[in-house]
Structures are given as structure tokens and as C-alpha cells.
Amino acid sequence: MDKHSVLREYFGHSQFRSGQAELIDSILSGRDALGIMPTGAGKSICYQVPAMLTDGITLVISPLISLMKDQVNSLVQSGIRAAYINSSLTSAQYAEVMRRAYDGMYKIIYAAPERLSSEGFISFANKMKIAMITVDEAHCISQWGQDFRPDYRKIVDFINRLSYRPIISAFTATATPKVRDDIIDILQMNDPFLITTGFDRTNLYFGVVHPKNKYEELIDQLRRRKNKCGIIYCISRKNVEEVCEKLCRDGFSATRYHAGLSDEERHANQDDFLFDRRQVMVATNAFGMGIDKSNVSFVIHYNMPKNLESYYQEAGRAGRDGEPADCILLYSPQDIRTNRFLIENSRDLNIDLTDEQADEIMRQDELRLKDMTIYCTTTGCLREFILKYFGDPSINYCGNCSNCLSGFETVDITVDAQKIVSCVYRIHQRGVYYGRKMVADILKGSRDKRLLQLGFDKLSTYNIMSDSSLSRIRTILDHLIREGYLSVSDDKFETVMLNARSAEILRDRKKLEMKLPIEKEPKSKKKKEEDFFANSPIFSILKKLRREIADREQMPAFVVFTDATLKDMCRKLPTDYDSFLDVSGVGTHKAEKYSDTFCNAIRSYIEKDPAAQAAPENAESFLENDLKTYKSFAAQQNIAAPWTHEEDEQLRKEISNGMNMAQIALAHNRTISEISLRIKKL
């Protein structure tokens, strides 16, 4: 058996994704390897395939219990012998896992990093043959990473206590060059094969919204994604509680997750989300690292995260199945202050660091927060910004982010810039300094109580930008700061200050331009292939069947088959074992287990509706295929009347929504015969 047959038989895929084959070949040759691959790129395949081809056990170090549980469930479903060892096991369960491991029953064992310091586990590792140690979420080992975990440092001590040295492989979704080098040094990797497959995930739409009311905007976003599964990330436990309570009150199927809940409630809520009993999970960043749920179609950040590494990793939990998905960030300047408070108070958590190391980490956190803020306020392509940050090549227009799609125009902001800088100057004349919010409120003419108490309504610049929105004023103010015409203090207050370049605006009257959003109604998104599946009878049948199997086997539905696999079934309509094996995501083990059940359902569907068609490869082919079917039906009924442009457009609209003849007739409150007569008269 080689790597291709393992991929086909156990995982149901016919070819490797970018970088997977190279990493696997390197590991199989006995070389250490480091893979930096975005979420959803298939990192686990890179160590799971070699694990099946090497003599011995592959030990996977993983940071979260939920991650291990999901990975092991998926492996067992695919016919691979795997287990996990962590604090969730009882003494009896742990003893049983170890007994089976000694008997050679497992190819892959997942373990938490704290388990590595156990004398019993070290003794086990020295008695058994550990072919490879894989470090998942490897950025956790670096103090320069966004999610440093001191327990990860135990990995090196564990390796050094082994009587032999196994292959070391490490994987992460987000790592800057500095973090990458740190991973290699700390793990003492020997001339590792290093590959970065690129951070671009073209199926993800990135959007930043600057709402006046966050909760109202959230409701609007959720209504646009009715019946879809998603995650809402909040910056604090308090936010999670408030948002989840409001959503449930307003009729949304939501649940919550944060570290302040009991273990029982966290596990119950997580299962409700995984098993699709609740559609929306409202959570802090404590949720998600170990969640391999494939049908998450959106991730909404209710608050801005403190760095791009965390944002991209959390946003990347959408669209893991390769289907189109949305990553929306609701930005507010208040998020900056909240994140700065969290950074300043995180120092106490790093008790194992020297003061010098803690200071440096805080400085790096501040720089990352600055980059995150620029992402939220840039007028350029959001995807380009992310890719540049991680060192990837990019173009300045992706066509799939809010900045590229909403449209921008270059605007002369010379006069507005003069008003803003003049306002800062007038505040300084009083011998005081204030932040962005106060400056913008003065210019807008706010009746804020504190502003009036300070007498700022008497300034000559008060209310001089009343015709501009507060959002526009803040956008221009942020632009002046980014371009160096104004400065902000380094303390937590971030007061706005004049600098040497401010004179270029006030004294030299320098002409300034910037890109600002064109103020118009956003265009509705073009309907895509998912419109077909939303109304497809066979897709509904297969989803219901999957749900029944998942409930019977007590596992999440996506572990049985992902939505992407069900959609490929709809395209190919397999009716026997061999054709079922051709479906993407169906391996030998799953084909033997489920082919009869699903093929019988598909055969029954076809028998009941001989005109049933497979789903198209894309929306355009669906439209053309169904038009041909419709015209064929008309010809059979001896209907040969021309269509008007308006009626043709209406027909196309109904068909693009996945409607069949019966549905079209129902929409017009007529029988199919009446529709036929109507066509006759055209």
C-alpha cells in the first residue's frame, strides 16, 4: 500500500491538496517536517497518511480535548485504529486504552501536552515503538506566537527522555517567520522539510462592518443566513452571555461557550452545536481550536480580536468543506481599548517568564493589535492585507471581500483634514489631550454630557463637520494618524497629538486624497450553486438519512459525511458500490458501511421521478440544463409558443432558485396543465 491508496481507501479522496504529498514523502523518508497550512487545507492528512505506512505508533500532541475527540471519531469512522489520552478519561478508560496500545491495536494516539511529564507515559513510550511525534497547533510552543502555552515546552523534555529519537513533524495554520524559526529551534528539528502552502482560502468572503448598533447589525447578518450554521465570537464572557441571551429571546437557535461555564454545560452546549441541535454558537476564543465541524458557513466576530493570527485562525473555522463561507467582523473603536486592557492584564498569566521576556511579549502584542486595527480601517483589499501580513504574494483586488465589492472612490479630503487637525490644535491650546472619540464628537457637534462639561462646545471647531457621518470623520482621522500627520500616545488612553507633519496640513495647505466607500446601496450577491441545494429534494433526502445514521451512532452528522460529500452524491447520483466509491470523501470503509443505505435512497428517488437530474457542477450549468428540461416538457405537451423577455427572466429566476415544474405551478397558484396553457398563449 502506498500514500495514494491510503488516501483513496481510508479518506475517500483521489488526489492530494497542495503541499500534502511533499510533506508525506518527506516524513516517509525519515526527515523531520514543518507544515504551515491554513485552516481547512488538510494538515491532518499529512501525518495521518504516513502513520498508516510506518511501523509503530504516531503520537499526536494536541492542545484541546475536543480536538482529540473529533479527530479520533473521524479516524475510527474511516476505519483507522486511533485513541486519545487526556483528563476526560476515567481511570478504567485510561487503563483500557493503555492495554490496547500495548497489544498494538492503535496506529495513532492523541495526547495532551501535560500527559508527557507522567512517568507512566514515558515508560510506555520507551517500551512501545513511537515512529513519529506530531505537534499539532505548533505555534503554541513559541512565546512570540499568539497562543503561547507553557505546557508545550514539555514536549522537548519528553523527546529527550526517550531511548531513541522518532521523526518530529509539526503543523500550524498561522505562523510568522519568527514563530516558524522558534518552532524549529525549540523542537530541535533536524534539517526539517519546511513548506508554507499559502494562506489564501478563496472560498472565504471577508467583510468588515462599522455598525452604529452592533446587535442590530448582527441580527441583520443572521437573517441573511437563515438556517445556516455559524459561530459568533465575542471578546469577553459578559459579551457572550448578553449576545446569546438576546438571540435566544429573539427566536434564534443559539447556545454559548466560555471558560466560566461548568464542564457539563460546556460539553452539552458544544454537542448541541456539533450535532446541529443549535445553529449558532456564541463563544469566546476558548471555543473552536478543536472543532472540526465542516458545515460552518459563517463566522462573525462581534468584537475585533487582538491580532490577525487569532482572527485568521478563528475566521478559518468557516468553510472547512471548501464551500463558500463568510467571515464578518463588526468593528468598533471601543474594541481597541478593550483589547489593550486584556494585553496589559495578561502579564500576570505568564508567571514563568522573566520581566524582560514579559515586556517584550507585551510590546509584540501591542504591535499586533495595531496591525489588526489597520485591517479593520483599511480601504484596500482585505484579502491582500491578510496575505501580505503572512508574507504571501497577493493582488490588490480579490473580488471577494467587502472593500473590493462595495466600491471605493478617491476623495479630496484636504478641507476635512484641515478641520480635524485644527480641532486637535484647539484642544491642545487648553493644555489637555484626548482620544479619537472626543475629537470626532467635537467635530460632529455631539451633545455628550462630558464634552459639554469640559466646555468643548465653545471651541471654534465644534460642529464644523456636522454634515459628515461620525463614521466618516473617524475614518479620515484614522487615515491621518496612519499617514503620520497626527500621532497617538503610547499609553492606554491613545490621546491624539500634533507632530511635525501636522504643519503640512495647517500651514502648507497640503492637498490630500484617500479612498472612501461609495455611499450607495450594496448590490445583492449573485445566487450561486447553493441555491439549487437549498431546494433540492435529493439533497434533503440525503441529509435526513445522514441525520438518522448520526443519531443512531451517536455522533455529529458531519462525521458520517460532510455536506460537500452529500453534494457530490447529488451530482453523481451513485446507485451501486463502485459508483458510490467515486464520490469525493467516500473511502472503502465508509462505502462498505453506508453504500447500500444511500444507494437505495438514491435509486428510490430516481424511480419515483424518472426526470430527476443530478445536481450541476455549477449554477450556470444548472440553469441551462433545467431550461432544456423545461423546453423538452413543453415540446412533449405540443407547446411551441415564444417567450417574452419578461417571462423568460421570471422563468430563469424561478429555476435558479431550484424550482421544478410543480413548484413553479404552485408559485403561480395554477396546475401544471394551466401553466402549459399559459405557455400556449404566449
pLDDT digits (tens, 9 = 90+) for 235-289: 999 999 999 999 999 999 999 999 889 988 988 998 899 889 999 999 998 786 5
Burial class of residue 375, CB neighbours in 10 A (0-12, 13-18, 19+): buried
pLDDT computed for residue 88 by the predictor: 83
CATH topology of domain 530-608: DNA polymerase; domain 1 (1.10.150)
**What pLDDT is attached to residue 238?**
93
Q: Minimal CA–CA distance to 75: which of 43, 108, 103, 27? A: 108
Cα separation, 122 vs 16, in Å, equals 35
Whether residue 621 is predicted with pLDDT greater than 70 in this model: the reply is no
Higher-confidence residue: 608 or 587?
587
Q: What is the mean pLDDT of residues 383-407?
A: 82
Residues 6+ apart with CB under 8 A from 476: 413, 416, 417, 420, 514, 516
Q: What residue ranges do the domains of the chain occupy?
A: 3-196, 204-404, 409-500, 530-608, 619-681
Q: Is the model's pLDDT at 637 over the cut of 50?
A: no
Q: Predicted confidence band at 514 (pLDDT cuts at 50, 70, 90)?
A: confident
Range of lowest pLDDT (288-297, 353-362, 397-406, 633-642): 633-642
What pLDDT, on the 0 to 100 scale, is given for residue 343?
Answer: 85
Mean pLDDT over residues 473-482, rounded? 90
The tens digit of pLDDT for each residue in 323-347 reads 889 999 999 988 998 898 888 887 6
Query: What was the pLDDT predicted at 404?
Result: 84
Dist. CA 26–CA 22, nearest whole Å: 6
Neighbours of 249 (CB within 10 A): 9
Residues in the chain: 682
**Which pLDDT score, from 0 to 100, does residue 641 have?**
38
- Using an 8 Å Cβ cutoff, are 615 and 541 in contact? no
Instruction: Find how far residue 95's CA is from the centre of its chain.
Output: 37
d(CA 129, CA 132): 9
Element (H, E) at 84: strand 82-85
pLDDT of residue 670: 41
pLDDT attached to residue 298:
96
Looking at residue 680, what is its pLDDT? 43
Does 405 have pLDDT greater than 90?
no
Domain 204-404 -> CATH class: alpha beta
Q: Distance between CA 135 and CA 36 in Å, rounded?
A: 12
Question: What nine digits make up the cell of 250?
Answer: 429573539
Let me know the angle formed at the C-alpha of 171 by 166 and 172, rounded to the nearest 5 degrees.
Answer: 155
Q: What is the DSSP string of 470-523?
A: HHHHHHHHHHHHHTTSSEE-SSTT--EE--TTHHHHHTS----EEEEE--SPPP
Of the candidate ranges 347-356, 395-404, 430-439, the one whose mean pLDDT is the lowest: 347-356
Q: Out of 22-31, 101-110, 234-243, 382-391, pick the least confident.
A: 382-391
Amino acid at site 24: I
Q: Where are the beta strands (DSSP E) in 213-313?
A: 229-233, 254-257, 280-283, 296-301
CA distances from 344 to 142, 362, 528 (A): 19, 7, 45
Which pLDDT score is estimated for 667? 53
Question: For residue range 563-584, what is the model confidence (pLDDT) as tens digits?
Answer: 889 988 988 889 999 999 989 8
How many angstroms separate the CA atoms of 434 and 494, rounded? 8
Mean pLDDT of the chain, nearest integer: 83
Cα torsion angle, 80, 81, 87, 90, sign: positive
pLDDT of residue 595: 93
Least confident of 40-54, 214-228, 509-523: 509-523
CATH entry, 3-196, from 3.40.630.30, 3.40.1160.10, 3.40.50.360, 3.40.50.300:
3.40.50.300
Phi/psi of residue 565, each to 5°?
-70, -40
Percent of the chain whose predicted confidence (pLDDT) is above 90? 46
pLDDT at position 96 is: 93
C-alpha cell at 538: 435529493
Task: Report pLDDT for 643.
Answer: 38
Residues 24-70 have pLDDT tens digits of 999 999 999 999 988 777 889 999 999 999 999 999 998 877 778 87
Asked whether the beta carbons of 289 and 149 are under 8 A apart, the reply is no
Is the domain 409-500 a CATH 1.10.10.10 member?
yes
- Residues pairing with 328 in the sheet: 207, 300
Half-sphere exposure of 309 (CA within 13 A, CB side): 22
Eight-state DSSP code of residue 333:
T
Q: Which phi and psi angles does 25 have, rounded to 5°?
A: -60, -40
DSSP E strands, 258-324: 280-283, 296-301
**Residue 642 confidence (pLDDT):** 38
Q: What is the pLDDT of residue 682?
A: 38
**Contact (CB, 8 A) for 110 and 82:** yes
Average pLDDT over residues 661-676: 48
Over range 300-309, report the average pLDDT: 94
Domains 409-500 and 530-608 share a fold: no
pLDDT at 627: 40
Between CA 294 and CA 200 the distance in angstroms is: 18
Packing angle, helices 355-377 and 470-482, rounded to 10: 130
More confident residue, 520 or 156: 156
The rounded distance, in Å, linking the Cα atoms of 558 and 642 is 46
Distance from C-alpha of 203 to C-alpha of 107, rounded to nearest angstrom? 33
673 pLDDT tier (thresholds 50, 70, 90): very low
Of residues 6 and 492, the one with the higher pLDDT is 6
In 3D space, the residue among 637, 667, 639 whose CA is nearest the CA of residue 653 turns out to be 667
Instruction: Name the pLDDT band for 519 (thresholds 50, 70, 90).
Output: low
Q: What is the pLDDT of residue 664?
A: 52
Nine-digit cell at 566? 452529500
Q: Provide the 10 A C-beta neighbour count for residue 178.
A: 11
Closest alpha carbon to 338 in 376, 303, 300: 303
Q: Is the pLDDT of residue 168 over 60?
A: yes
Distance between CA 282 and CA 245 in Å, rounded?
10
